[in-house]
Amino acid sequence: MSAACAMVQGDSFRIISRMRRYDVIVHGATGFTGRLIALYLSRQGQALRWAISGRRSDALTRLQAECEHAGGQIPDVLLADNQLPETLLALAQQTRVLLSAVGPYALHGEPVVAACIAGGADYVDLAGEPGFVSDLLARHGAGAQRAGRRIVPCCGFDSVPHDMGVYFTLRLLQDRLGSERMAKAKVAVVGRIQARGQISGGTWQSALHAFSRAAAAASEAVEAAPGKRKSRRKIELVSQRPQRVEGGWALPLPTIDPQVIARSAQSYGFYGREFSYSHQLLVRSAPKALMAAAGLGGVWLGSRLESTRQLLSQWKRSGEGPNVRERQHHWFRVEISASARLGMREQHHVRTVLCGGDPGYDETARMIGESALCLAFDGEHLPAASGVLTPAQAMGDALLDRLRGSGLAYREEAP
């Protein structure tokens, strides 16, 4: 272990260096997704002072060696435990950005956020759990604003492709119509996704926790956002029934993305005087639509009861996930269709697309890795915002630039 490592003494942790010496620390780096994030950061081209952290020094040291063997930038190793808040605070005091890959976030996320606010670090995670995000807004939103910290959950596949996709698409309309006209427009957006992939054990466990609170948390994150009750603008989330569309069937998709997008809409006037958003999954055939609807419905219902939730949790354990060969056959396509209506007769349409590889892991590692780098290095280009934020609120154009530079570029298609 390096001289910057945290050392264990009995039941407590002693951090050798409390100086802010890192740009990014990846906490929970030895989990399935955490390891991919660490490998991504080690291979990206920008010079980086960074570390990996967790509870097990042996696993961390193996990952450190893996980064070195891959020819990447070698991280320092730090020990920290979510059950010991002082070790989390020590992490936050040493870094500009703390990236948390420790889920389910409803169980393990809040102490890390509290440490970042107290320790002066910005924060990113992979949370796709509405209940966790609404709790952060209610319990830590004001504190993060006072401290001038950017706390940014949902920086993986939930919810970067859709949140930044809506932002990118409406920026195109803003460029063409102007800010004043967009601020008066009635804007309707549909986000539609096609994907092939598998989920890891950690994602499965997080999904069960998210679904178990879905009914209570569906609107909490929107309602808890600062300024929600002061706004005169109308922001609406539309849940449509399954419908036949070009290319297959569109099904309503019960993820956190719509709540994230609604919060972004509160911050930007070019989202329109009235803004509506519909979130959909596209499947090619009616049988597949029925299977997808039945599967989503069954998991949602099963997660509501403790007994069935325990049974479902046995299907995939944390730490399990698809291998490299399996991930090579995974892909995704996100399509954002937006219309801006000005008066009775004038209407403008834009459609954009983002395509990539394995959505849940390889591309998620890229998305959150670039988000952490964006917060660490692009401060002068970031929106003037603090608190518990969405990716679009926290990073805006700067994150679009980083995603484009990393190989994830939105493109416009003919409506």
pLDDT tens for 111-158 read 999 999 999 999 999 998 888 999 999 999 999 999 999 999 999 999
What is the reported pLDDT for 244? 87
- What's the rounded Cα separation, in Å, for the pair 252 and 263? 19
- CA-based R_g, the chain, Å: 21
Q: DSSP letters along 132-198, please?
A: HHHHHHHHHHHHHHHHT-EEE---BTTBHHHHHHHHHHHHHHHHHH-HHHHHHSEEEEEEEEEEE--
- Whether the link from the prior residue into 252 is cis, omega within 30° of 0, is no
Q: How far is the first Cα of the chain from the last one, in angstroms, to the nearest whole number? A: 55
Residue with tokens 């830590």: 140
- What's the rounded Cα separation, in Å, for the pair 332 and 355? 6
Residue with tokens 């002061």: 230
pLDDT tens for 322-356 read 899 999 999 999 999 999 999 989 999 999 999 99
pLDDT tens for 43-70 read 999 999 999 999 999 999 999 999 999 9
CB 190 within 8 A of CB 170: no
- What's the rounded Cα separation, in Å, for the pair 164 and 170? 10
SS3 content of the chain, % helix, strand, coil (to 5): 45, 25, 30
3-state secondary structure 221-248: HHHHCCCHHHCCCEEEEECCCCEEECCE
Confidence band, pLDDT 50/70/90 cuts, at residue 247: confident
Residue 84 burial class via C-beta count within 10 angstroms: exposed 0-12, middle 13-18, buried 19 and up: middle
- DSSP-derived letter for residue 29 is T
What is the reported pLDDT for 232? 76
Q: What Cα–Cα distance (Å) separates residue 180 from each residue in 133, 177, 237, 269, 272? A: 32, 8, 24, 9, 10
CB 374 within 8 A of CB 138: no
120: left (phi over 0), alpha (psi -120 to 50) or beta: left
What is the reported pLDDT for 414? 87
Positive or negative, the CA dihedral 7, 13, 18, 75 is positive
Query: In percent, how much of the chain has pLDDT > 90?
Result: 68
Q: What Cα–Cα distance (Å) separates residue 397 from each residue in 22, 40, 193, 391? A: 24, 22, 22, 10
What is the reported pLDDT for 3? 35
- In this predicted structure, the answer to whether residue 254 has a pLDDT above a threshold of 70 is yes
Tell me the pairing of strands 122-125 and 243-245.
unpaired
Of 101, 156, 135, give the one whose Cα is nearest residue 213: 135
pLDDT tens for 157-206 read 999 999 999 999 999 999 999 999 999 999 999 999 998 887 544 444 54
Exposure string for 103-136, b = 16+ CB within 10 A, e = fewer: bbbbebbbbbbbbbbbbebbbbbbbbbbbbbbbb
Confidence band, pLDDT 50/70/90 cuts, at residue 4: very low
